[in-house]
Amino acid sequence: MNKKELAHIRKQLKLDHDMLEIFTILNVYIMKESNEIYHFERQPFALLDREKQELYMANFKKLMTGELDQKMFELKFQEEAESPSQVLLHQGLVTGNPEEWQDLMLLLVDKMLADTKYEKDMVVTFVHGQYLKPTRVRTEESEESEKDEMFANPFILCSVNSTEQQRKTLMFDYVEREFKYNVFVDPIIKLNTPEQGFFYPSVTDNYSDVNRVLYCAGKAHEPNVPFIEQVLNAEMIVTALEERTYFEDIVKEVAGDQLDAATIAHVYEEIHRVIETNEEEEPPKLDYKDVERMLTVSGVEHVTEEKVERAFQNVIDDKNYEIKASSVMPKFTSKSIKIDTKVATISVSPQDLKFVRQVNFQGKRCILIEVDEDVVIEGFTLNTETL
């Protein structure tokens, strides 16, 4: 799955969208004390109150929001898993019987409860639906609408949400003209902050891929490994944060711990160029040859292909590993790089990093930033000193 394919699915997640239909919704309430299913309820999504539909749709949209390899992870299923979840999901995907679909989803909930003790009451929500995609891209010359021929893509979406108790409140009764103490015992389901979930099947080359599932973490860079391996029976992948650490360690082993800002800026510019000039559907990846070339053109001395290959082997234990370029690249045009010091935190973009230097002035280390305009602090323009 790439960004374009994920964006297409996200766009459908709204009420009254003519390219999305949700057939059935199943809610399962789990009690933390017993770690068992307390109640479950299945009904056609169309029969829900409009307000409920809006709440659920906002929850699904929130769940599916995030960057690939940071909050959204496309996973392959394990090939030799016992009682594989892929089988349950695929059967649920193709069945036309809502009761059979419910029973299959409840088996997945049983797997969630097998080795996990929840600290709060939890609600697991499943929906079964389909979204449409055009069979071909409409051109300016085409007189037919892109909706004349559509592929129907059935899907199962799952959202896991925690609950919280309502606060005790003091209320004023207008009729009785008195203050009343109210205690609400019904828990609130936190639909605005899903803990995790998944979307099945994933998408490969614009087609549904039943051999992969899209796992959605609650927070970026924090996938739930037991859920991925034991519930979904999927293979864990390397996150973008881990790949960024790989890249940093490789560069340190090849070039040393200390680099000037201009060199780092050149490296980021090279990675950005690779991303921008990529014409393939798959995101570009960097092998040891690519890293060697980038470091060389960025001015790092004594870099050889063999040295970088050895660094890949030492850091990742795989000299042929390919790092996604997007994983190691901070957002190029935004102030995505933080320079933390005891005195201040400075934010700069990768493209402006070349204007930052660390210098020694009168025996003290200082950060020097080249600027084109006067610096204004709290309305006061700083004097320009000549060093």
Q: Show the tokens assigned to 229.
A: 């391996």
Containing H/E element for 213? strand 212-217
Position 384 scores a pLDDT of 87
| DSSP-based three-state secondary structure for 314 | helix
**For residues 265 and 369, is the Cβ–Cβ distance under 8 A?**
no
User: Given this model, what pLDDT does residue 171 score?
Assistant: 85
Residue located via tokens 């204004």: 376
Cα dihedral 297/301/306/312 (nearest 10) = -80
Contacts of 282 (CB under 8 A, 6+ apart): 2
Read off φ and ψ for residue 139, nearest 5 degrees.
Answer: -105, 165
In the three-class reduction of DSSP (H, G, I as helix; E, B as strand; rest coil), residue 156 is classed as: strand
Cα–Cα distance, 269 to 342 (Å, whole number)? 28
pLDDT at 297: 93
Residue 280, token pair as written in the block: 């393939």
If the chain, 387 residues long, is cut into consecutive pieces of 10 residues, what is the mean pLDDT of each piece? 87 90 96 92 96 95 93 93 91 95 96 90 96 67 56 94 85 88 80 96 89 95 93 91 94 90 92 90 90 94 94 95 92 89 91 91 90 90 86
Contacts of 311 (CB under 8 A, 6+ apart): 249, 250, 253, 254, 288
pLDDT at position 81 is: 82
pLDDT at 137: 53
Among 146, 127, 126, 150, which residue's Cα sits nearest to residue 137? 146
- At 158, the amino acid letter reads C
Residue that has been written with the tokens 């005891």 in this structure: 342
